[in-house]
Amino acid sequence: MADTAMSDAEVGPNAPGGDTPPDVTRLRGRGCWTEAALLLAPYAERSPAAATRRAALLIECCMFTLDGWAEAEDALRTAEALARTDDERGEAACERGNLAYLATLFGLRDRADEARAALMRSAALLAPGAAGRPLLDFRRGLVAENLGDDPAAARAAYRRAHAGAVAHDDVLLTSYTWRHLAGLAARDGDVAEARHGFTESLRIRVELGYAVGVAPALTALAGVTPDPEAGRLRAEAARLFRTLGGVPVWLAEELPGELAPDAG
C-alpha cells in the first residue's frame, strides 16, 4: 500500500485517556491493542474519556491489522453513548470519522460521506482550544488528501494539526504531522524537506518507544534516501516487521524484496 494511503491511516495520536493504567501506552506501542483494550475495559464502563480511548485503540488495531472492525464499532458505540459534554461528544465523533475513513480507505465499504459528516460534527462540538482539536485537524487532512485528492487542503490541515500538537505537547501526534507533511513534500518533489520530515517522525517514534510505527517511518525515509542507505533502512524495517508479527500488514506490499525468503 502506498505511503500516502496509510498515511496513513496510521491513526495516530494520543486519544483522551483519563485515569487509566500506564501499561496501556506501552502495550499500544508494541501493537498489543487487544490487551490494552482489556486493561481499559473496567474504566470504559464509567468514564467517557476511557471509553473513547478504548475505541481509538481498537480502531487503530483495524488500521494496522485490517481486522477487528466489529469490535471497534461496538466500542465506539459505547463511547458515543457515554459522552455527555460537547467535548466528549466531539472526541467520539472524531473517532467515528476515523473509523469511517479507514473502512473507505481499505475498501471495506464506502463510508466517505459518513467520515466527512462525523468530522464536521466533531468540529462543531469541540471548543477552539480543546485538546482534541489537533487530532481532528490531522484527520481532516487525511480525508482531504486520501479521499478528496486535495493536497492543498490536506497541507493546511496538517499544519494546523502540527501547531496544535506542539501547543498541547502531543509528541506522538507531531510524528504523524511530520510524516504527512513530508509525504506532501515528496509528492511535490522537495526531497530535502521530505527527508527532514520523515527523519523527525522516525526520531520521535524511536524516542517514545512507539515500536509499531517505526517500520513505516523507516520505509518512508528510505523512499527519499539514496542507496545504499535506503537499502539499510528497508532491511531494518523488514526486521521490525517480522519482530512485531507482521504488522502493519500493509507494509508487506512496500517491502517485497526485503521479506522474500532468500533475502536473509
For residue range 47-60, list pLDDT tens digits in order.
Answer: 999 999 999 999 99
Q: How many residues does the chain have?
A: 264
Predicted confidence at residue 16, as pLDDT, reads: 37
Contact 149, 119 (CB under 8 A): no
pTM over 0.85: yes
Residues in contact with 87: Cβ distance below 8 Å, sequence separation at least 6, in sequence order: 125, 126, 127, 130, 132
Residues in contact with 244: Cβ distance below 8 Å, sequence separation at least 6, in sequence order: 30, 31, 211, 212, 215
For residue range 162-214, list pLDDT tens digits in order.
Answer: 999 999 999 999 999 999 999 999 999 999 999 999 999 999 999 999 999 99
Q: What is the DSSP letter of 112?
A: H
Predicted confidence at residue 18, as pLDDT, reads: 44
Contact 219, 233 (CB under 8 A): yes
CA 136-53-47 angle, 5° bins? 115
Predicted confidence at residue 107, as pLDDT, reads: 93
Site of grid cell 485538546? 131
Predicted confidence at residue 257, as pLDDT, reads: 61
* Dihedral class, residue 254 (left if φ above 0, else alpha if ψ from -120 to 50, else beta): alpha
Rounded Cα distance, 248 and 264, in Å: 20
Rounded Cα distance, 134 and 239, in Å: 32
Buried b (16+ CB within 10 A) or exposed e, 135-156: bbbbbbbbbbbbbeeebeebbe
Contact 91, 16 (CB under 8 A): yes
Predicted confidence at residue 108, as pLDDT, reads: 93
The low-confidence residues of the chain, meaning pLDDT below 70, are 1-20, 256-264
Residue 247 CA, chain-centre distance (Å), reads: 13
Buried b (16+ CB within 10 A) or exposed e, 157-177: bbebbbebbeebebbbbbbbb
Predicted confidence at residue 4, as pLDDT, reads: 33
Predicted confidence at residue 258, as pLDDT, reads: 59
Rounded Cα distance, 124 and 75, in Å: 23
Predicted confidence at residue 67, as pLDDT, reads: 97
Predicted confidence at residue 135, as pLDDT, reads: 98
